[in-house]
Structure 1
């Protein structure tokens, strides 16, 4: 679960001043289709994001297969052109895969809120 929290914080954080470094962190935190698609989620020019996992829990763990599912509540702080925007809170469902270099995110999905 600790790895999942760290991985989610990594892929919800981006600073355009450190674009290449942050994209490398995203690549290191992911695997499979997510690793390929994630760079298309780079925030618009001038926007920076900082993700912080407020709470998380495993919903499934298969140690033999090397897979886990994690549900997380995430707070994302957005700064556009140096101006802080209202903090966003979201819920994410993550699938993780154990690789030779440790746990990595293989999918990440934003969960809707009932009644919205």
Structure 2
């Protein structure tokens, strides 16, 4: 699960990776994108929103598929979001606290990792691109 957010909007891209030991195949299973609200919102807020959507979308995919999925990994470019998820501090704004609670309800902290912007497939959609 790759998530990203910017002033344009936020995006989640779900990839399925299959491996038989010799070959590895990956494909886009599902994506979700939303435009940022008209009222100005900070990028970290959009990033935590995309992370929340990421765990919810992963749950939908896990429930809808008959494939035995061994593990789910979540990737974000936001070190702020990773700090929120891995932090034991409870002194965050209410929106962040609620978002982190949802993320922790559906995932474990060790499932979350950083991905460089240039390697994040969700980056194109969050920045906007011409067809």
Q: Shorter-chain TM-score category? A: under 0.3
- Asked which structure has the greater RCO (Cα within 8 Å, sep 6+), the reply is 2
Give the TM-score of the pair, scaled to structure 1: 0.24
Give the TM-score of the pair, scaled to structure 2: 0.22
Greater strand content: 1
Greater helix content: 2
